[in-house]
Amino acid sequence: MIVNMLDNATEQQIEHIIQRIREAGFQPHVTRGTERTIVAAVGSGGRRHEIEALSVAPGVDSVVAIAQPFKLVSRQTRPDPSAVDVAGVKIGGAEVVVIAGPCSVESREQILETAQGVKQAGAMMLRGGAYKPRTSPYDFQGLGVEALKLLRETSNLTGLPVVTEVMSTEDVDLICEYADMLQVGARNMQNFALLRRLARVNKPILLKRGPSATVKEWLLAAEYLLAGGNSQVVLCERGIKTFETATRNTIDLAGVALAKELSHLPVIADPSHGTGKPSLIGAVSRAAIAAGADGLIIEVHPCPERALSDGSQSLDIHQFRGVMQSLTMPLRPVLSDKTPS
């Protein structure tokens, strides 16, 4: 349930509501918006009627049920969009943030050349896998801690904050030492032990949508992070499984718009895994931004044909520059008799 405070509610009145929510057996979560303060009562096993009765407490405007199962992630709890700060780069603000880099970190030269190239083209963050979730156990699994060190070194040299995937609870502390943001990969979206652990770290999380997860399941996975104490969450649409085989996955841009509508969290799109095709990345990136995405994450490799993972969907640095340039082009004009001639 949420308690909407009046615009002129005093700190004391807000504090009283927080206290009453605790007494009723729920956890209070306060959101101070541009206009008013909202106090959400979340959790199970509390006494609902005691929260309902707060509608007559001083400073309260209304008490309403949260319609969605994801409570803290919902726009009802926080009507204003939230922004996530990744070592100085704001995701969810007025500008679209582009994260770029290789699928896997392969060597010092490879990661540095990529980072410098993508930075020059306009990327604001670096990506690179150290621990790779590969479908086959015989495929390249990532350089592990060596890759983490290379990512940190490259980040320090270029000033680009770095995001890398965490696959296991065992690796969380180690990765936190080196990365600015931790990615939960699509295959781990419902790894609840991992989500619970990441709820307790003081690092932003990039939560990818599972290939067969609904938008509701994706937002509920994010709810684990917020409910456990980590509200620095960015959602990432990376394509879902459908009957289509011409693209690697089917990128769900309506899902991006829907996630933005239902949730205050920033949402970015991954056109690389979402299509599997370098030729489609520019078009899908532009479409994602038009659908409301707050950012993009794109795989770039200095020599895709030599990449140890996902080379066939990676852009080279020249192609990436072209995609970046295309992002500033306006959409086509709409034929209309209102268009000035």
Judged by the rule CB under 6 A, the positions of this chain that interact with ligand PEP are 103, 129, 133, 185-187, 208, 238, 273
**Closer CB to ligand PEP, residue 66 or residue 140?**
140
* Residues 257-296 as x/- pattern, contact with Mn ion by CB under 5 A: ----------------------------------------
Distance between CA atoms of residues 283 and 270, nearest Å = 12
Segment 78-107, which members bind Mn ion (CB under 5 A)? 103
CB atoms within 10 A of CB 305: 9
**Closer CB to ligand PEP, residue 76 or residue 141?**
141
**Closer CB to Mn ion, residue 39 or residue 296?**
296
Among ligand PEP, Mn ion, none, the one that 226 touches (CB under a kind-dependent 5 to 8 A) is none
Q: Which residues make Cβ contacts (< 8 Å) with residue 195, sequence separation at least 6? A: 184, 221, 224, 225, 228
Q: Under rule CB under 5 A, how many of the chain's residues touch Mn ion? A: 2
Six-digit token string for 294: 């707050």
**Closer CB to ligand PEP, residue 40 or residue 130?**
130
Cβ-proximal residue to ligand PEP, closest one: 185
Among Mn ion, ligand PEP, none, the one that 185 touches (CB under a kind-dependent 5 to 8 A) is ligand PEP
Distance between CA atoms of residues 151 and 101, nearest Å = 11
**Closer CB to ligand PEP, residue 129 or residue 282?**
129
CB of 131 to ligand PEP, least distance (A): 10
CB of 185 to ligand PEP, least distance (A): 3
Which of 156, 163, 229 is closest to 198 using CA atoms? 229
Residues that bind Mn ion (CB under 5 A): 103, 310
